[in-house]
Amino acid sequence: MTPWRLIADVGGTNVRFARVFDGLVVAERRAYQGARFESFIHAMRAYAAETGGLAGCASVAIGAAGPVAAGEIHLTNIAWTIREAEVEAEAGAPCTLLNDVEAAAYGALTLTEPDYALLSGPAPDLSRAMRLLIANIGTGFGAAALFKVANVWVSCPSEAGHMSLRLPDDAPAGLRSAFPSVEHALSGRGLVDLHAALSGRDDGLSARDICANAAYDPAAAATIRLFAEITGSVLGDLTLAYTAWDGVFLVGSVAKGCAATDPRAMRAAFENKGPMSDRLKAVPVALMLKEDPAFFGLAIAPMRTR
Amino acid sequence: MTPWRLIADVGGTNVRFARVFDGLVVAERRAYQGARFESFIHAMRAYAAETGGLAGCASVAIGAAGPVAAGEIHLTNIAWTIREAEVEAEAGAPCTLLNDVEAAAYGALTLTEPDYALLSGPAPDLSRAMRLLIANIGTGFGAAALFKVANVWVSCPSEAGHMSLRLPDDAPAGLRSAFPSVEHALSGRGLVDLHAALSGRDDGLSARDICANAAYDPAAAATIRLFAEITGSVLGDLTLAYTAWDGVFLVGSVAKGCAATDPRAMRAAFENKGPMSDRLKAVPVALMLKEDPAFFGLAIAPMRTR
């Protein structure tokens, strides 16, 4: 039997499984509502039963929305704890648990040109890259870095969403205390809160509505512009933290819909880092267009060594 | 002949060499004024000539005050460019160029208990550590992270000094525009500038004077407190960026003299990161006391693979 890798992308609502052959072919995709199952292992059993069992499973890679600690992830929005040891016992194969943004980061390595849109800067050259930054703007803010070490890519997870945020110097002074951390601004909720703070209206608009209104509503346009500036500045800071000179890739619904709508404002803030401005001018910033970057990342993520 | 490693710590003023035996014994230390030599290679020749030549030199590791790019470092305060290829040709052995803070970071791995002072948090356990942060506060601000990957420590250099700085929310509003980046506050010059801004006096006091005056001068005391708070907040942010849960080590004259004088204020700001506060409570923050941490780091730094 051809050996294959079992992969799982676990969010708060859905858990998605697939089988990977040759590190490239992602087959037998299925999605389940997490709430239907008592635990991750139960969901994994259901997937295995529906798709022909676990024979030939050579490894398991799981990306989940939470920090990995001591081989475990406690999920935030569902009462599951995923443990590498339990998955290994069930699958009879080694298991690697990753944070979901780390998984998406590995996905960047599988991109070819139509899979991303260059937002600003020179074209990325993934064949020569040594350090990359991946940032997710969606329900929250997440980031991960990838480093090439001895010809193998390794990831560095982060909790960058909780770093302190410096708003642009020309932002209204009253905003500062309401946006202490990166995620307070760079998330779906953050965009809504920025709009309420800038417009003085709490009118129930969603992040999607605000993006759509920006074409004719000055308050929405100002919100999108500030959001793009904050995104650029935070991405610039993280590029400096990791010296991720080879490229920045954005993923996530809010990044796609909102942050990327004003790439010039984003770029100006990205490069506005004093003596590092010239260095940052050479760094590509791109938007991942490929669906399910975490799935493709899990397909190729190396096994963790302990 | 016993093989040995040649190490060099290159600053703007002095270049220091030594030979390392068995990755541990640092011998034949000599320091030279850089300005006496046309290039790094000339200084290296002088050292070799004085200490018995290069026979048996198995590898060279150089830490220098600048970013490594394409196997080169252009030094900031002296018109030298150090090139790995030139050093390799001269020494007949492979050369690894590191940023000086990366070199100091590897030095953290050689510490035993009397070599550092725990400033706050639980005691570090280097034998179990997987991720560490090292920050230098001196003439400027530098940081590097260390990750254990497949049982080998690898470093991530940074340009963290140029990241945008969020001042504490209760800092005088007028200060913001004067301190755009981390290094604008966290450096010897930064401390002097903070003191001038807080006291309204530009009285020619050095960073050392301000530290000394803090015992009786309220403006100096307020400066030291703010400096400690900014240090704590920036170290907290970088710990989140690298998920450096296993410990933070401070090096540098200004860190030693000033930042570490108010460890409680530093700690409160370090942990003040919203939902990550509990996670940060478990992270040790220590001050390296060992002299020449970069020397010890260069002794054990792995060869770079290309």
CB B105 within 8 A of CB B300: no
| CB-closest option in A147, A151, A180 to B156 | A147
Look at A82-86, A233-237, B206-210 and tell me which has the smallest mean pLDDT: B206-210
Residue type, B238: L
Measured between alpha carbons, how far is residue B7 from residues B12, B27, B62, B78, B200 in Å? 17, 10, 6, 19, 45
Give chain B positions within 8 Å (CB) of A173.
173
H-helix segments, B217-283: 218-242, 253-257, 263-271, 277-281
Q: Please report the pLDDT score of residue A44 as a whole number.
A: 97
Contacts A149 to B, Cβ<8 Å: 149, 154, 305
Our CA-based measurement puts residue A215 at a distance from the nearest CA of chain B, in whole angstroms, of 30
- Chain mean pLDDT for chain B: 93
Q: Identity (one letter) of the amino acid at A216?
A: Y
Least Cα separation, residue B152 to chain A (angstroms) = 10
pLDDT, position A224: 95
With CB atoms and an 8 Å threshold, state whether A242 touches B243. no
Mean pLDDT of the B209-232 span: 94
Residue B239 has pLDDT above 90, yes or no: yes
A105 occurs within a structural domain? no
Assess whether A208 and A258 both reside in one domain. yes
Higher local confidence (pLDDT), A152 or B102: B102
Integer Cα distance of B129 and B16 in angstroms: 30
Residue A306 included in any domain: no
Q: Which of A276-285, B201-210, B234-243 bottoms out in mean pLDDT, i.e. has the lowest?
A: B201-210
**Cα-Cα-Cα-Cα dihedral sign, residues A29, A35, A36, A41:** positive
Chain B contact residues (CB < 8 Å to A): 67, 143, 145, 147, 149-152, 154, 156-160, 162-166, 169, 173, 176-177, 180-181, 233, 236-238, 240-243, 273-276, 279, 305
Cβ distance B156 to A274 less than 8 Å, yes or no, reads no
Is the pLDDT reported for residue A62 higher than 70?
yes
Q: What is the mean pLDDT of residues A274-300?
A: 93
Q: Which residues contact B88 (CB under 8 A, 6 or more apart)?
A: B60, B94, B95
Q: Which residue of B has its CA nearest to A273?
A: B162
B80 and B160 inside one domain: no
Same domain, B226 and B252: yes
> Which pLDDT score, from 0 to 100, does residue A302 have?
85
Domain count, chain B: 2
Could you report the per-residue pLDDT of A224-256, keeping only the tens digit for each? 999 999 999 999 999 999 999 999 999 998 998
A275 located within any domain: yes
Residues in Cβ contact with B22 at an 8 Å cutoff, skipping those fewer than 6 apart = none
- pLDDT of B305 > 80? The answer is no
pLDDT, one tens digit per residue, over B145-200 is: 999 987 889 899 999 999 999 999 989 888 999 999 999 999 999 999 999 999 98
Residue A183 pLDDT: 96
The CATH code of the domain that includes B40 is 3.30.420.40
* Residue A170 buriedness (CB in 10 A; 0-12 / 13-18 / 19+): exposed
Q: Identify the weakest region by mean pLDDT among A63-77, A214-228, A276-290, B78-92.
A: A63-77
Give the domain CATH number at B257: 3.40.367.20
Say if residue A86 is in the same domain as residue A124. no
DSSP string, B186-230: SSHHHHHHHHHHHHS------HHHHHHHTTT-HHHHHHHHHHHHH
**Same domain, yes or no: B94 and B161:** no
Q: What confidence tens digit (pLDDT) does each residue in B1-58 have? A: 789 999 999 987 889 999 999 877 889 999 999 999 999 999 999 999 999 999 999 9
| Same-domain status, B171 and B224 | yes
Rounded to 10 degrees, the C-alpha dihedral A216/A219/A224/A228 comes to 130
With 80 as the cut, is the pLDDT of residue B76 above it? no
Mean pLDDT of B246-252: 96
**How many other C-beta atoms are found inside a 10 Å radius of the C-beta of residue A23?**
12
Q: Residue B163 and residue A305: Cβ atoms within 8 Å?
A: no
Q: Say yes or no: A142 and A274 in one domain.
A: yes
3-state helix, strand, coil in chain A (%, to 5): 40, 25, 35
Which of residues B100, B120, B139 is at a domain's end? Answer: B100
Least confident of A32-36, A135-139, A154-158, B291-295: B291-295
Residue whose C-alpha is closest to residue B185's, from B269, B297, B290: B269
Q: Please tell me the distance in Å from B163's CA to the nearest CA on chain A.
A: 5
Assess if residue A106 is contained within a domain. no
pLDDT reported for residue B285: 97
Reading the block at residue A117, the tokens are: 């849109």
Residues of A with Cβ-Cβ distance to B237 under 8 angstroms: 163-164
Which residue range(s) make up the domain with A274?
Answer: 111-289
Interface test with B, best of A166, A169, A305 (most B CBs within 10 A): A166
Question: Average pLDDT over chain A, rounded to whole?
Answer: 93
Q: For residue B205, which phi and psi values (nearest 5 degrees)?
A: -70, 140
Q: Which two tokens stand for residue A272?
A: 């506005």
Mean pLDDT of B231-250: 97
Backbone angles phi, psi at A104, to 5 degrees: -65, -35
Q: B183 and B271: one domain?
A: yes
Q: Is residue B253 part of a domain?
A: yes
What value does the mean pLDDT take over residues B234-253?
96
pLDDT at B149: 85
Predicted local confidence at residue A305, as pLDDT: 57
What radius of gyration, in Å, describes the C-alpha atoms of chain A?
20
Domain contains B127:
yes
**Average pLDDT of the residues in B258-274:** 94
B306 pLDDT higher than 70: no
In this structure, the answer to whether residues A158 and A275 fall within a common structural domain is: yes
- Does residue B302 fall inside a structural domain? no
| pLDDT score recorded for residue A47 | 97
Residues A156 and A209 in one domain: yes
A166 and A258 inside one domain: yes
B226 — phi, psi (to 5°)?
A: -65, -40
With pLDDT > 70 as the criterion, what percentage of chain A qualifies?
99
DSSP H helices in B38-111:
40-51, 84-91, 100-108
Same structural domain for residues B183 and B147?
Answer: yes
Asked if the model's pLDDT at residue B60 lies above 60, the reply is yes
Inter-chain contact A181–B242, Cβ cutoff 8 Å?
no
CA–CA distance, B62 with B99 (Å, rounded to integer): 8
Tell me, yes or no, whether A156 lies in a domain. yes
B304, closest residue in chain A (CA to CA): A150
Copy the structure tokens of residue B12: 């703007």
